[in-house]
Amino acid sequence: MIRAAVLPAVGAPLEITDIELPEPGPGQVRVRLAAAGVCHSDLSLSNGTMRVPVPAVLGHEGAGTVVSVGEGVTRVTPGDGVVLNWAPSCGACHPCSLGEVWLCVNALNGAANVHARAVDGRELHPGLNVAAFAEETVVSESCLLPVPEGVPLTDAALLGCAVLTGWGAVHHSARVREGETVAVFGVGGVGLATLQAARIAGASTIVAVDVSPEKEGLARAAGATEYVVASENTAREIRKLSGGHGVDVAVECVGRAVTIRTAWESTRRGGRTTVVGIGGKDQQVSFHALEIFHWGRTLAGCVYGNSDPAADLPVIAGHIRDGSFDLGSLVTERITLDGIPGAFDAMLAGKGGRALVVF
């Protein structure tokens, strides 16, 4: 028996309860969690914006220690520190054959598996493959990456989503070059990671945008040189801060139609907008044909930072070790499992950065 945060049905409150977790089968690994980040995607799963089989144990950003392994496991041994990878690539599908492992069509197949059982016998699924909102979890060995040397195990949880997403949005999707100007919309966990990545990339002006004036200190500590409180004049303010023509790159970390449109309008002619935020089907963004031609801007989606976790984590770890990337500064609250519903409420209210569940 272990404690976990269970989503009983879409739109229902989370249940912090005991569950029965089986021992690892062939190719599986049991991990004792050290920490798990509370990501907006978990909220999107709970409210139905993203669909997964339910009931489910949520949580997809985590790190911990290997407890035991099943038959045939060769990548890890008990005692190893590991980062959970919620979207492991299969290496065989069409996107994987093109080197676009972040688009693997089989990455989330594990979400349909039976992961554990509730005390009343209900079958529970593993959320986004890894079920990190629990004291322990059992995952495929393909869902594990070694904790990089020199990175504290608790902080390493953030590498599993926020950091890879923000880093990749800057370095892989938008491909920010030294001296370019950047605007980042949304100063949550992913937004804070994006700001740090833009600073490391050598961006000159870095504008952070959020609805909350209270986040300015967080944004500037992460690398923002300017801060704008979101309003109907946001695009105009950003153009003013970037020589009157707009920034080279805008990264949208919110997933709302109005924010995506504003990010696009904030870029210069020929600029690039990367959308990281996950919005619902009701969030419709419209453009007319003439403006698309006239502005020559690029609008691109970004999945998991367009990252290859196995290749990117060692690079990011180097920046953590030399002090240029500060994992701890992403965290504004450390909580227990019981604090996850409150962390969801804080996200809905636009408060704070990353809440981190510490076990």
| The predicted structure's pLDDT at residue 49 | 87
Task: Find, among 306, 84, 272, the residue nearest to 183 by Cα.
Answer: 272
Q: At what angle do helices 40-47 and 340-348 cross, to 10 degrees?
A: 90
Please, what is the average pLDDT of the chain? 96
Segment (H or E) for 247? strand 247-252
Q: Cβ distance 245 to 266 under 8 Å?
A: no
Tally Cβ neighbours within 10 Å of residue 330: 26
Q: Cβ distance 270 to 297 under 8 Å?
A: yes
Torsion, Cα 112 116 122 125, to 10 degrees, reads -20
Q: In this predicted model, what pLDDT tens digit does every residue of 177-212 receive, in sequence order?
A: 999 999 999 999 999 999 999 999 999 999 999 999
Residue 350's pLDDT band (boundaries 50, 70, 90)? confident
Q: In this predicted model, what pLDDT tens digit does every residue of 65-117 receive, in sequence order?
A: 999 999 999 999 999 999 999 999 999 999 999 999 999 999 999 999 999 99
Q: In this predicted model, what pLDDT tens digit does every residue of 129-181 receive, in sequence order?
A: 999 999 999 999 999 999 999 999 999 999 999 999 999 999 999 999 999 99
Question: What's the mean pLDDT in 329-341?
Answer: 96
SS3 358: strand
| The predicted structure's pLDDT at residue 169 | 98
